Structure formats: C-alpha cells, structure tokens
Amino acid sequence: MKAATQFSVMLPNKPGELGKLCRRLARAKVNIVAISVAETTEQGVVRMVVDGVTATRDALKKSKLSFVTARVLLVDLPNEPGALAEVAGALAAKKVNVQFVYGSTVRAGEEVTVVVGVDDVDAAKKVLS
C-alpha cells in the first residue's frame, strides 16, 4: 500500500472527450494506472492515478483542462470475497472515512489494486500497514 496523486479532470459530457484526454496523456508518455469516470448531464469527472504526475500536470495545463489533485491510497488486495470488506472495516474501526473506491478486477489468484480516497491518508496508512 502506498500513497499516490489522483487527478480529477472535468470534461464536457460529449462524444470524444475521454479519447482526446487519453491521447493527450499518451503523447506525454503518461500511463494511466487506474481510472474512474462519473458523469452529470453536462460534465464528466475523470478520476485517475498515473505514472507521471509532472507530465500529467503539464499536459492538462497545456490543454487548458480544469483539474484538481488529491492524495489517495493504492491498496493491493487478494482477488477474493471479503478482501475489500476487511480494509473498509479496519478503517472504520479507527474512524477513517472512506470517500470513494475504484479499481479493476484481474484473473483469479492475482492481486487487484484499488484506489481508496479517505479523509485522512496518513491515518489510513497507519491502519493498513
């Protein structure tokens, strides 16, 4: 488990915008490690963790895209029932609020990395260490 920088990028909710964002990052040689997209009628919010924070920041500024950053945790979990429940329970027991979680599944037997947004990253790191 480690802390990482998450970018939340605001995009117009229309065809092609996510593709343009991903191409901009690809041209900057940035790999997207984890991604989540949520939408409203007019806007999408792309939350992502990348392997190049400075290059991402520069590419987004150059593209004049609105974004904010936040510290999040990357937590490796076994891909099995109850793994996330255990993490959430441990954080709750220490009064650390989980604000959001996203990630992806992998093949059975492999670990999955989830992005966990909490109200106190340092406290969460102590709980999960």
Q: What is the pLDDT of residue 41?
A: 83
Rounded CA-CA distance 95/18 in Å is: 36
Q: How many helices (H) and strands (E) does the chain have?
A: 4, 6
Q: Which residue has the tokens 């979990």?
A: 77
Pairing between β-strand 98-103 and β-strand 43-50 as defined by DSSP bridges: unpaired
Domain boundary (35, 56, 71) is at 71
| Same domain flag for 38 and 62 | yes
Q: Are residues 14 and 66 in the same domain?
A: yes
CB 49 within 8 A of CB 72: yes
The tally of domains found in the chain comes to 2
pLDDT band of residue 83 (cuts 50, 70, 90) is very high
Q: Domain of residue 56: give its range.
A: 2-71
86, 62: one domain: no
Whole-number Cα distances in Å, 54 to 37, 48, 63, 68, 111: 22, 14, 14, 13, 28
Question: What CATH number corresponds to the domain at position 23?
Answer: 3.30.2130.10
Cβ within 8 Å of residue 85, ≥6 positions away: none
Token output for 83: 């793994």
Query: Can you give the pTM of this predicted structure?
Result: 0.90
State whether 51 and 111 are in the same domain. no
Model confidence over 18-40: pLDDT tens digits? 999 999 999 999 999 999 999 88
116 and 88 fall within a common domain? yes
What is the C-alpha separation between 100 and 118, in angstroms, rounded?
7
Structure token digits, residue 20 = 């343009």
